[in-house]
Amino acid sequence: MEIFNPHSNIHFLNLRRYSIAVALVLFIGSIALLVTRGLNYGLDFTGGVLVEVSYAQPVDAGTVRETLARAGYPHALVQGLGGTREFSIRLQPRGAADVRALNQQQGAADQVAAQVIRVLKAARPDATLKRTDFVGPQVGSELRNNGVVAVIFVIIGIMIYLWARFEKRFAVAALVTEVHDTIITLGFYALTQRDFDLTVLASVLAVVGYSINDKVVVFDRVRELFRSARRADSEDVLNRAINSTLSRTIITSLFTGIAMAVLFFFGGPAVHGFAITMLIGIVVGTLSSIFIASPLLLWMGVSKKDLMPVTKENPELARRP
Amino acid sequence: MTDFPRWKYGLVLVVLLFGILYALPNVFRPQAAVQIQGSSSNPITPALQRQVVQVLRKAGTPDLESTRSGDKLLLRFSNTDTQLKAYTALRDGLGDRYVVALNLASTVPGWLRAIGANAMPLGLDLQGGVHFLLQVDAKSVLDQQMQRYLDDVRDSLRAKHIDYDSLNRRGGTISVVLKTAAARDAARTLIARNDSALQLANGASGNGRYVLDATLGAAELTKIENSIITQNLTTMRNRVNALGVSEPVIQQQGATRIVVELPGVQDTAQAKRILGATATLEFHPVDQSADIEQILKTGIVSPEDRLYRMRDGRPLVLKKKVIASGDEMVNASSGFDPQSGQPTVNVELDSAAAARMFDFTTRNVGKNMAIVYIERIPEVKQVDGKEVHTSKTKEQVISDATVQGVFSKNFQITGLTQTEAQNLALLLKSGSLAAPMNIVEERVIGPSLGQLNIEKGLLSVLLGLGLVLVAAAIYYKLFGLVADIALVFNLVLLVAVLSLFQATLTMPGIAGIVLTLGMAIDANVLICERVREELRNGSTPLASIRAGYEKAWATILDANVTHLLAAFGLMTFGSGSIRGFAITLAVGILTSMFTSVTVTHAITALIHGGRKLKTLSV
């Protein structure tokens, strides 16, 4: 079975003005969102208390909220966990005043969880505790810093590898598209205000890995075509590289997407965020492989002579007949 | 034949066999069990085993099998209901001489375990339990250490009759003010000889004040800090063992933190009492010359003394000098005094403290020695909107006893109730904590949630695998089926390697497995697309296969190395569950490179080798 015409020669690079413009708009939009709305950091990063309860009988989230408000937790965030019997309750400091209020009322943060359960059980005896989390704020901020360091470390490591294996322009193109993919994925989280927790951070790094995987395949073909072509017109070579890897790019994305969709629908709330990030990352990464990476290479002026095997520059070898 | 070397078939077979063997233990689900742990003073005897059988018969919960190994007796049960009933019955029936705990017994056959094949341990999110992150407070230990040096310096100056004006400590610096330069030189030589760890420096001189400053060197400080965390880790391990939890995780995280994970435990309060409280003892001489009423009235205590309270509130003045402290204790156990029948705690000191104890008791028979029980209770306070972790120190004199004779290494503490003696011995037996710790993170996962996560995780892996298998078979036909075999092989191999490393399986780890399954097929897509291309370019089928694998390999290598870099990046900032994900991803990339390339190549060579082919099913 073949979905893609093997002889397709879509002129992707002709679209480069539009594709880069769209990418720029998305990129700047994402940054604007990140600056204005910011990420809705989960408990792992902000510190605070999370309680998950399940009820034997269905219950309304509003009722739970009310019960908690009456007990002195007006800021408790109550969310249903897919159904009307399971809820997550978060008491997360949103500013210094909140921290003070929370603690003055109830003492140490790690006792709040016990108190919440007592309150809920008093109102509805069929409430049972599924899990509780208490994270100290300094642990959270450390994690956030480590996460940023990890992302930078990974991107730089990949750049160095590509610089050595390919050429500096490829490294730069990879860096730019990586940053683009990461920022847009984060932008989605800023837009939807979905919980940004440790698992999501891990998946953002996995997106970096996936997306670079995709680019390297295209770059590899670019290198191969440049080396084998006798008269290499850069634009033509880049376009051919995209076209000949097109079916692979899309089929792999499709297969990985299938696996992630399964995780999204059947994996439960613990890996929900992970699956969503990956799905977005796969789409963004695939598009940037096709529409952004190569135009960048073209603009930076990649040519045949940059990619010829290093041995040619070895004078020892060049002298030989 | 084909161009696929014969030794590679051998390699594929060996790896396949390895994968199946080491992945196999994960099929055996662990069995509900109860563990009874004895000790050297309360060993597991045939009499106890008979008693256990009786208790179980009375409760109507017979065990399936009981196995004894050393101090442990493991009873297996058919389900968790009988396990829980039996647990309650045994805990009440056997008394507190034995630690009774819920456990999970491995059902992996002995021959598998003999070759080191074990099931992957499950993370807390898959089996329920509590997770603590503890912050070690090294400062208080350093303070204590400096106080001990101060006492040492004072003792040696007095022993050599070197007059000094004052001797005090500010932070990590001990300052001695001497009257003459000659005295300072003498003191300097003396301290340098007695306490070589101290670095000495002359301070301000003149006007009859000659200052000598002593501090701990940087190397010495790191040494102390390192030993503090190691000692705390050991202590935690012993304390957790005392709780009788099966397969606990106690690990250092970063420079000053310790992770404690207790699977199966739901009662955080009890776990916290054992982990969080830091009880230690200090032995002080009682200052019997002090006028307590005068001190209570004026509040002025001699600089060498301190006012303490007994448990009943009675005031008592002790000298600040510490004869021995909790971390110098080698062992502590509860028992009964053979003569009076009173509960006692038997204490054994290390040699340094024993020497000091001998020194003290020789000169002070008939005088009193008090034991101060110091308990630190972690607290969280708000200062300027920031959480500040402090700890409240509760100091009580738990015994004010007359020194009955000269002793050094071994002695008994009396004057406790039986429960107090047992509690104290439990906390002290595990070695008293070198430094107090605060809980900075706490997570509790209910057992039902764990079970649900396992089911969902398993479903996702199988369904994800199934769909990718079907998609590949439809799109690439025979080559797709070959890739499918490799993908299943990859899953087996990934599980085998993770089991061999005993990597903990968590929910993010399962997500990593599903992701790996999705991405592992990438190499096959690359190969298949290449083979198709070669065919289109007019190559013969066999040449297409060869060229397809050859040309795809460079790409696969580059793509996987960069991907591996990302996985390593994740690993370096390792919080437990994320590390699990990163390790799964990294191992998955490596195994998939083998299965997607070598294994599929082997199978393809087997199918197509030596035949005249007109077309390829790709």
- DSSP codes, A215-281: HHHHHHHHHHHHHH-SS--HHHHHHHHHHHHHHHHHHHHHHHHHHHHHHHHHS-GGGHHHHHHHHHH
User: What pLDDT does A191 receive?
Assistant: 95
pLDDT digits (tens, 9 = 90+) for B34-93: 888 776 556 788 888 888 888 888 888 888 888 887 778 888 888 777 887 888 788 777
Which of B239, B225, B221 has its CA nearest to residue B432?
B239
Q: A29 and A121: one domain?
A: no
What average pLDDT does range B275-295 have in this prediction?
79
Quick one: what percent of chain B has pLDDT higher than 70?
A: 89
Which of B524, B530, B507 has its CA nearest to residue B584?
B507
pLDDT digits (tens, 9 = 90+) for B467-494: 999 999 999 999 999 999 999 999 999 9
CB proximity under 8 Å: B 510-529 to A: 510-511, 514-515, 517-519, 521-522, 525-526, 529
Between CA A300 and CA A173 the distance in angstroms is 9
User: What pLDDT does B388 receive?
Assistant: 62
What average pLDDT does range A168-191 have in this prediction?
93
User: What pLDDT does A260 receive?
Assistant: 95
What average pLDDT does range B22-41 have in this prediction?
82
Instruction: Note the ipTM here.
Output: 0.84
Say if the Cβ atoms of A259 and B467 lie within 8 Å: yes
Give the residues across from B402 on adjacent strands: B368
Between CA B167 and CA B507 the distance in angstroms is 59
User: What pLDDT does B383 receive?
Assistant: 60
Interface test with A, best of B265, B513, B514, B516 (most A CBs within 10 A): B514
Q: Provide the residue range defining the domain that includes A84.
A: 48-135
Instruction: Please state the three-class secondary structure of B262-287 as a single string.
Output: EECCCCHHHHHHHHHCEEEEEEEEEC
Q: Kindly identify which residue of chain B lies nearest to residue A96, measuring between CA atoms.
A: B385
Global pTM exceeds 0.80: no
Between CA A201 and CA A198 the distance in angstroms is 5
Residues 6+ apart with CB under 8 A from B17: none
Give the residues across from A55 on adjacent strands: A127
Q: A104 and A156: one domain?
A: no
CB contacts of B463 in chain A (<8 Å) are: 262, 266
Locus of tokens 């003459």 = B180
Q: A189 and A261: one domain?
A: yes
Quick one: what percent of chain A has pLDDT higher than 70?
A: 88
**CATH code for the domain in which residue A108 is found:** 3.30.70.3400
User: What pLDDT does A102 receive?
Assistant: 47
Asked whether the CA dihedral B431, B434, B436, B439 is positive or negative, the reply is: negative
Of A84, A112, A135, which one is at a domain's C-terminal end? Answer: A135
Q: Is residue A319 part of a domain?
A: no
Classified as helix, coil or strand, B108 is coil
pLDDT of residue A139 exceeding 90, the answer is no
User: What pLDDT does A107 receive?
Assistant: 40
Of A135, A150, A169, which one is at a domain's C-terminal end? Answer: A135
CB contacts of A257 in chain B (<8 Å) are: 518
pLDDT digits (tens, 9 = 90+) for B420-467: 777 666 556 544 556 777 778 888 887 778 888 889 999 999 999 999
Q: Is residue A65 part of a domain?
A: yes
User: What is the helix (H) or strand (E) element at residue B452, kind and residue range?
Assistant: helix B447-501
Confidence of residue A205 (pLDDT cuts 50, 70, 90): confident
Q: A129 and A206: one domain?
A: no
More confident residue, A84 or B558: B558
Q: Is residue A321 part of a domain?
A: no
Query: Which of B514, B563, B578 is nearest residue A202 as measured by Cβ atoms?
Result: B578
User: What is the helix (H) or strand (E) element at residue B84, kind and residue range?
Assistant: helix B80-94
Specify the DSSP class assigned to residue B598.
Answer: I
A91 close to A73: Cβ distance less than 8 angstroms: yes
Confidence of residue A105 (pLDDT cuts 50, 70, 90): very low
Give the other-Cβ count within 10 Å of A58's Cβ.
8
User: What pLDDT does B478 receive?
Assistant: 92
Residue B218 amino acid letter: A
pLDDT of residue B170 exceeding 70, the answer is yes
User: What pLDDT does A307 receive?
Assistant: 77
A307 close to A223: Cβ distance less than 8 angstroms: yes
Specify the DSSP class assigned to residue B197.
Answer: T
pLDDT digits (tens, 9 = 90+) for A259-317: 999 999 999 888 899 999 999 999 999 999 999 999 999 998 888 877 776 554 555 55
Which of A141, A216, A147 has its CA nearest to residue A182?
A147
User: What pLDDT does B3 receive?
Assistant: 67
Does the beta carbon of B473 lie under 8 angstroms from any beta carbon of chain A? no
Give the least confident one: A197-201, B328-332, B496-500.
B328-332
A134 close to A60: Cβ distance less than 8 angstroms: no
Q: A166 and A100: one domain?
A: no
What average pLDDT does range B161-172 have in this prediction?
84
Give the least confident one: A113-127, A202-216, B271-285, B563-577.
B271-285
Q: Is residue A3 part of a domain?
A: no
Say if the Cβ atoms of A135 and B441 lie within 8 Å: yes
Between CA A5 and CA A10 the distance in angstroms is 10
pLDDT digits (tens, 9 = 90+) for B384-413: 655 566 666 767 787 777 887 888 878 887
Q: A190 and A207: one domain?
A: yes
Of A118, A135, A152, which one is at a domain's C-terminal end? Answer: A135
Q: Is residue A4 part of a domain?
A: no
Overall fold of domain B277-440: Gyrase A; domain 2 (3.30.1360)
User: What pLDDT does B573 receive?
Assistant: 64
Q: A21 and A152: one domain?
A: yes
**CATH code for the domain in which residue A231 is found:** 1.20.1640.10
User: What pLDDT does B377 receive?
Assistant: 56
Between CA B494 and CA B513 the distance in angstroms is 8
Between CA B128 and CA B123 the distance in angstroms is 8
Overall fold of domain B139-220: Endonuclease I-creI (3.10.28)
Tokens standing for residue B77: 């049960």
Q: Is residue A64 part of a domain?
A: yes
B303 close to B287: Cβ distance less than 8 angstroms: no
Q: A59 and A28: one domain?
A: no
Q: Is residue A127 part of a domain?
A: yes
CB contacts of B486 in chain A (<8 Å) are: none
More confident residue, A130 or B280: A130
Q: A127 and A161: one domain?
A: no
- Total domains in the fold of chain A: 2
Q: A121 and A166: one domain?
A: no
Q: How far is A198 from chain B (nearest CA, A)?
A: 7
Give the least confident one: B190-194, B238-242, B448-452.
B238-242
Say if the Cβ atoms of B442 and A47 lie within 8 Å: no
Quick one: what percent of chain B has pLDDT higher than 90?
A: 20
CB contacts of A110 in chain B (<8 Å) are: 380, 439, 442
User: What pLDDT does B424 receive?
Assistant: 65
Q: Is residue A17 part of a domain?
A: yes
CB contacts of A86 in chain B (<8 Å) are: none
Indicate the burial class of B324 (C-beta count within 10 angstroms; 0-12, 13-18, 19 or more): buried
Mean per-residue pLDDT over chain A, rounded: 83
Q: A131 and A143: one domain?
A: no
User: What pLDDT does A291 receive?
Assistant: 92
Please tell me the CATH code under which domain B31-105 is placed.
Answer: 3.30.70.260
The region, left, alpha or beta by phi > 0 then psi within -120 to 50, assigned to residue A82 is: left
pLDDT of residue A179 exceeding 60, the answer is yes
User: Dihedral (C-alpha) A143, A145, A151, A157: value to the nearest 10 degrees?
Assistant: -110
User: What pLDDT does B298 receive?
Assistant: 84
Q: A169 and A308: one domain?
A: yes
Give the DSSP letter string of B277-336. Answer: -EEEEEEEEB-TTS-HHHHHHH----TTEEEEEBTTS-EEEEES--SEEGGGEEEEEEEE
Please tell me the CATH code under which domain B6-26+448-608 is placed.
Answer: 1.20.1640.10
Domain ranges of chain B: 6-26+448-608, 31-105, 139-220, 277-440
CB proximity under 8 Å: B 409-468 to A: 439-446, 448-449, 452-453, 456-457, 459-460, 463-464, 467-468
